Amino acid sequence: MASKSSAHRPDAAGFSLVEVLVATSIVAVALAAAAPLVAAAIHANARARAATVSVLLAEDKMEKLVAAFWREDVPGATLGASPAGTLDRNTPGYCDYVDRNGQPLGGGPEPPPGAVYLRRWSIEPLPIYPDSTRVLQVLATPSRGVADAAHDLTKLPETARLITVRTRRSS
């Protein structure tokens, strides 16, 4: 008696080659459609991370400026006015670069090696109380190298800009 193979029995379990090819094609089309979404999600995640780091770096610098404002009894610690336009260009003493670990690398017109973020700040006396009140502003953004000077950094989505007004009792 000859036995029939299980592939020819009507009750045999499994998929035919055509069914496997159709299923594989459907999965391939779905993955191809999802690929741009994955790429967009990766890009959005990178921008969100850059914005978060910018905010943290700006907060760090702002805390240091506020602390310097309150140390008025320390010689040289009083915050005088910064030159005009310190948020628009790299001004010595009012900008610095930061590496990927958050360590300051110093300032200058061009970023030093390893610079990932740029911070700029300004200190302006409030016109109605110039002796006792300061407007402190800090801008932090990913560094774009020499192109930092050519762009309006305030319009970039990864840029953080903090502004505060501090006052103390005048003597």
Q: What is the DSSP string of 48-74?
A: HHHHHHHHHHHHHHHHHHHHHHH-TTS
pTM of the model as a whole: 0.73
Q: What is the mean pLDDT of the chain?
A: 83
Position 136, amino acid:
L
Please state whether beta strands 133-142 and 95-98 pair in parallel, antiparallel, or not at all (unpaired).
Answer: unpaired
Rounded Cα distance between 139 and 149, Å, is 14
Q: Each residue of 82-91: b (16+ CB within 10 Å) or e?
A: beeebbeebb
pLDDT of residue 56: 94
Q: What is the pLDDT of residue 5?
A: 53
Structure tokens at 37: 């979404």
Two tokens, residue 89: 């260009």
For residue 77, the model assigns a pLDDT of 46
Q: What share of the chain is helix, strand, coil (3-state, %, to 5)?
A: 40, 20, 40
- Beta carbons within 8 Å of 104's beta carbon, 6+ residues apart: 96, 97, 98
pLDDT < 70 regions, the chain: 1-12, 72-79, 145-152, 170-171
Rg (CA), the chain: 30
Q: pLDDT tens, 128-149?
A: 888 888 899 999 999 876 555 5
